[in-house]
Structure 1
Amino acid sequence: MPKTTKAKKKVAKPKTKVVSKPKKTTAKAPIKISKTYVPKDTEKYMCEKHKVFFRIKLNEWKKELVKANNEALYNGSMDDNSISADIVDQASSYTDKNVEMKAINRQIKLISEIDKALMRIRDDTYGFCLDTAEPIGLKRLMARPVAKYTIAAQEKHEKDEKVHADD
């Protein structure tokens, strides 16, 4: 019987993966501002300090609104337990609840506007008019932190709304 030779199977060596080292990011330390800090016109418009200031202001405002809404909803649900036999009292209670719900709905819309303003801060578009890209101005933002337009652009929007409302 002739000798048979078995061919040796070649075992492939595992390929070594070349793994690049993670790049070191030079993350900036978060900017801290004092509780008494107020943005100044002499500073560069929408510098990091301004953004931090308005982010804090918007978040605090949002917290207050959420807390007020939760309290109003809780108190409103507690009032449902009292049923009055007097039809005038029932009508008055219904009117009060209707007014309260409208106020809550306005606050919910405002919370949504605050969230949009916070997104604009993250996108670096906060403080600039959505129509013209011009600076809205610190005075206007201090008075209305959710402002999206310059005063002139806002007036134009309101005029356009009035015209379309008459149609």
Structure 2
Amino acid sequence: MTAAKKTESVKIPEGYQPSDEDEKFMNPIMSAYFRKILTDWRDDVARQTAETIEYLKGENVSHPDPADTAAANADRQLELRTRDRLRKLTNKIDKAIRRIDNGTYGYCEETGDPIRVRRLEARPVATLSIEAQEMHERGERVRAG
């Protein structure tokens, strides 16, 4: 049985809340919990993408008034940027699900240490611990400054 099938078949107890202190990190229930969060999020993003595509299909950017045409073009550009962000987010979500499958989900890519559960709940696609993320951001500010 693949790792994906293992976490897909695990029943998450009603009211389950993962904990850094009370259970083994990324045990089957915790992994299944985060898989569900990620797959639900991916489904929501897919729905939003479909809505954006329908909006763009129905949008007529040719108006008699040049100001209306410009406004419609600006709206279209915003929708296209939104769609691109959603595509990138979907890729991040898919990568996070693959990390669950291969047993690396929830571990910092820099240090190898577990990422706190609360951080993963707030940002399920996180690949760095808060400490590693802060070091990364400080490094970017130094290079940019």
TM, length-normalised to structure 2: 0.87
Name the residue aligned to 2:99: 120
Distance 1:35 1:97, change over 3 A: farther
Matched, 1:40 2:19: yes
- Identical aligned pairs, as a percentage? 37
CA RMSD after TM alignment: 2.0
Secondary structure at the residue paired with 1:71?
helix
Cα displacement (A) at 1:37: 1.9
> Comparing 28-37 with 142-151, which one deviates more in the overlay?
28-37
Greater share of helix residues, 1 or 2?
2
1:92 to 36, 46, 71: 71
Matched, 1:63 2:43: yes
**Distance in 2, Cα, partners of 1:140 & 1:77:** 38
Secondary structure at the residue paired with 1:130?
coil
Distance 1:57 1:75, change over 3 A: same
**Distance in 1, Cα, partners of 2:23 & 2:113:** 17
Cα displacement (A) at 1:34: 3.2
Matched, 1:78 2:36: no
Q: Which runs of 5+ in 2 are unaligned?
A: none
Matched, 1:158 2:137: yes
**Distance in 1, Cα, partners of 2:18 & 2:137:** 28
Q: Report which of the two structures shows the higher radius of gyration computed on alpha carbons.
A: 1
- Opposite residue 49 of structure 2, the aligned amino acid is N
- Provide Cα deviations, 1:65-105, integer angstroms capped at 9, x if missing partner: 0111011111111113x621111111111111111111111
Cα displacement (A) at 1:28: 7.0
Equivalent pairs, count: 139
Greater relative CO, 1 or 2 (CA 8 Å, sep 6+): 2
> Comparing 29-38 with 114-123, which one deviates more in the overlay?
29-38
Name the residue aligned to 1:50: 30
**Distance in 2, Cα, partners of 1:142 & 1:39:** 9
**Distance in 2, Cα, partners of 1:102 & 1:35:** 38
